[in-house]
Chains A and B, each alone.
Chain A
Amino acid sequence: MSPRRSGGVVVLALAAPLWAEDPHSLDALQDPPAVVPEVAPVALVQEIQPATTTTARGAEPAVVASAAPNTPPPWEPRYRGHDDVAAWARAWSATGLARTVVLPASRGGRATPALEFGAPGGGPLENRPTIFLLGGLDGVSLAGCEGVLRVADELLRARDALPSSVAFVCIPWASPDGLARTLAGEPTDGRDRLALDDDGDLALDEDGADDVDGDGLVLEMLVEDPRGAWTRGADARFLVPASSGDRPRFTRTKEGRDDDGDGRFNEDPEGGVVLDLSFPVGWNSEPGGLGGALPLDDDLSRALADLLLARPPLAVLAFQGNHGRLARAGGIASLAWSDGAGSRADLAAVKLFAESTGRVQDEAIALRRARGEDRPGAALDWVHAVVGALACEVGVWGPLDEGVEARGLTANPRAIATTEAASFTADSLWARWLDDVRGGIGFVDWHPVDLGEGRSALVGGWLPLARANPPPESLAVATGGLAGFVRKLATAAPVLELRIVEASRDGEVVTVRARLENLGRLPTGLGGGEGARVTLELPTGARLLWGENDARLGVLEPGTTSREITAVALVPPGGTLRLAARAPWAAPVDREVKP
Chain B
Amino acid sequence: MRLLTCVLFFASTSFVARAQDPKPKPEHVPADVAPQDPPATPLETPQETPYETPIIPPEAVPAPVPPTEALPPAVVTSTSATRAVPTLLAYARTWSEAEYEAELERLASTYPRFLRLGSLGTSKQGRRIALLTIGDLATDPDRRPAVLLATDLEARFGDRPGGPEAALFAVRTLLERAERETEFAEFFTGATLYAVPAPDPDGVFAQAAATERTCRLERNFPAGWQPSDAIECPQGPYPCSEPETRELARLVAARTNVAALAVLAVDPGPEAFDARTPPSAPLSRIAVRASLDARRLTRAREFAVAKPGGLAAFAHARSGACVLALDPWSGDEASGDAVRPAFAALPLAVDGLLRELPRLEGRMDRAERLRERLWLVEVEVRVAGGLPTASPEERAKAPASVWLDVEGARVSKIGARRDGQPTANLDVPRGRTWRIGHLDGNESLKLFLAVEGDEGGVLRLAFRSLRGGRAEFDVALGG
A4 close to B430 (CB less than 8 A): no
Question: Quick one: CB contact mask for A195-230 with B, threshold 8 Å, 1 for yes?
Answer: 111011110100000000000000000000000000
Q: Is the CB of A567 closer than 8 A to any CB of chain B? A: no
The answer to whether B44 touches A285 (Cβ under 8 A) is yes
- A280-B222 contact given A1-B237, A3-B237, CB 8 Å threshold: yes
Contact A204/B231 with A261-B428, A293-B43 known, Cβ cut-off 8 Å: no
**Of A6, A261, A286, which contacts B430 at CB under 8 A?**
A261
Asked if A413 is an interface residue, CB under 8 A from chain B, the answer is: no
Known A280-B238, A283-B222, A294-B253; judge A5-B229 contact (CB<8 A): yes
Cβ contact within 8 Å between B40 and A197: yes
How many B residues face the partner with a CB closer than 8 A?
41
Compute how far the CA of A6 lies from the CA of B227 in the bound complex, rounded to whole angstroms.
5
In A256-292, the 8 Å CB interface with B consists of: 260-262, 279-281, 283, 285-287
**A11 contacts chain B at the CB level, 8 A cutoff:** yes
Tell me the nearest residue of chain A to B308, going by C-beta.
A9
Q: Name the B residues within 8 Å of A385 (CB-CB).
A: 227
Bound state CA distance, A521 and B282, in angstroms? 63
**CB atoms of A528 and B229 under 8 A apart:** yes
A309 touches B430 (CB 8 A): no
The 8 Å CB contact of B44, one of A11, A195, A196, is A11
The answer, yes or no, to whether B179 is at the interface (CB within 8 Å) is no
Interface flags, B379-391, vs A, CB<8A=1, else 0: 0000000000000
A529 within 8 A of B: yes
Residue A46, interface by CB 8 Å: no
How far, in whole Å, are A11 and B45 apart by their CA atoms in the complex?
8
Q: Within 8 Å of chain A (Cβ to Cβ): is B233?
A: yes
Assembly CA distance A309 to B241 (angstroms): 12
Q: Are A260 and B397 in contact (CB under 8 A)?
A: no
**In chain A, what residue has the closest Cβ to B235?**
A3
Segment at the A interface, from B2-10, B57-65, B398-406: B398-406
Set of chain A residues within 8 Å of B45, measured between Cβ atoms: 9, 11, 285
When C-beta atoms are compared, the residue in chain B nearest to A3 turns out to be B233
Q: Contact at B38–A197, with CB atoms within 8 Å?
A: yes
Bound-state Cα–Cα, A16 to B472, Å: 39
Is B269 an interface residue, CB under 8 A from the partner?
A: no
With contacts A3-B230, A3-B233, A9-B226 known, is A386 near B238, CB below 8 A? Answer: yes
A529 to B237, CA, bound (A): 13
Q: Mark interface residues in B53-88 (1 if CB within 8 Å of A CB, else 0).
A: 000000000000000000000000000000000000
CB neighbours of B226 from chain A (8 A)? 6-7, 9
A106 interfacial by beta-carbon distance below 8 Å? no
Q: Are B231 and A530 in contact (CB under 8 A)?
A: yes
Pairwise interchain contact A287-B397, C-beta atoms closer than 8 A: yes
Q: Is the CB of A3 within 8 A of B39?
A: no
In the bound complex, what is the Cα–Cα distance between A281 and B236 (angstroms)?
A: 13
- In the complex, what distance in Å separates the CA atom of A260 from the CA atom of B428? 10
Tell me the bound Cα distance from A285 to B223 in angstroms.
Answer: 10
Q: How far is the CB of A499 from chain B (nearest CB, A)?
A: 27
Which residues of B are interface residues toward A (Cβ below 8 A)? 37-45, 222, 224-231, 233, 237-240, 249-250, 253, 317-318, 394, 397-400, 403, 427-430, 435, 464, 466
Provide 23 A-B residue pairs closer than 8 Å at the C-beta atoms, listed in order of the A residue: A1-B233, A3-B229, A3-B230, A4-B229, A6-B227, A195-B39, A199-B398, A200-B41, A200-B394, A202-B38, A202-B403, A202-B466, A204-B37, A261-B428, A279-B238, A285-B45, A285-B317, A286-B42, A294-B250, A297-B250, A309-B237, A386-B227, A530-B231
Q: A5-B227, A11-B45 are in contact. List 7 more A-B contacts (CB 8 A).
A: A3-B228, A7-B226, A202-B466, A287-B397, A302-B238, A385-B227, A386-B237
